[in-house]
Amino acid sequence: MATENINDLFIEELKNILDAEHQITKGLPNLIKASESLELKDALSGHLKETEGQVERLNKIFSLLKIKPQTTSCKAMKGLIDECDAVIKEFSKSALRDAAIIAKAQRIEHYEIATYGTLKSFATELGLIEITALLKTTLDQESAADKKLTKIAEGSLLTAGINSEANSK
């Protein structure tokens, strides 16, 4: 079916982020294992739990739209996760590897923030009040995860944390 209007585009983007969240669910355990800092392990584990909830939330959105949850391959997320795996291969367990993990994990969070921000705007435009609220819940979780990652490096590896500029916006 061709994408002809904002409603179609909204559904296409939902399918894409559902695939991305599935990929994150599979990718995060490797990052958790590879992290040295307990704080980083905890933050990533917490976000893995949240991510499972985000998948459920997307399934709920599909059911509210009265369509079956479907996915289209998210090539962007595949690339981001490949980069995470490369970092794990390249460095041995250390504070430096933790910094590299945070750098890569934050790219994922920013990608998700961009996606859910757009989806929320589309849902608002389409007058889908309940779905807008669901998307906002996930968007807030992604932002909080991003800010937490910035904080973890603060005071240890980098005095100003990682990506504090992006997080001050």
Would you tell me which residues interact with Fe ion (CB under 5 A)? 51, 54, 112, 142
CB of 167 to Zn ion, least distance (A): 23
CB of 3 to Zn ion, least distance (A): 14
For 134, the token pair is 């669901």
CA distances from 64 to 59, 60, 125, 131, 132 (A): 9, 6, 16, 8, 12
Which amino acid is present at 112?
E
CB of 23 to Zn ion, least distance (A): 10
Partner whose footprint covers residue 54, from Fe ion, Zn ion, none (CB < 5 to 8 Å by kind): Fe ion
| Partners of 154 in the β-ladder | 158
Partner whose footprint covers residue 144, from Zn ion, Fe ion, none (CB < 5 to 8 Å by kind): none
CB of 74 to Zn ion, least distance (A): 3
Count Cβ neighbours within 10 Å for each residue of 88-124 and write b for 16 or more, e otherwise: beeeeeeeebbbbbbbbbbbbbbbbbebbeebbebbe
Binding residue for Zn ion, selected from 74, 100, 113, 153, defined by CB under 5 A: 74
- Is the distance from CB of 32 to CB of 45 less than 8 angstroms? yes
**70 versus 94: smaller Cβ distance to Fe ion:** 70
CA proximity to 69, closest of 154, 2, 11: 11
- Is the distance from CB of 57 to CB of 134 less than 8 angstroms? yes
CB of 148 to Zn ion, least distance (A): 24
**29 versus 79: smaller Cβ distance to Zn ion:** 79
- The residues in 10-69 that bind Zn ion, with binding defined as CB under 5 A, are 16
Binding residue for Zn ion, selected from 32, 65, 76, 87, defined by CB under 5 A: 76
Partner whose footprint covers residue 19, from Zn ion, Fe ion, none (CB < 5 to 8 Å by kind): none
Q: How far apart are CA 148 and CA 17, in angstroms?
A: 22
In the complex, the residues that contact Zn ion under the rule CB under 5 A are 16, 74, 76
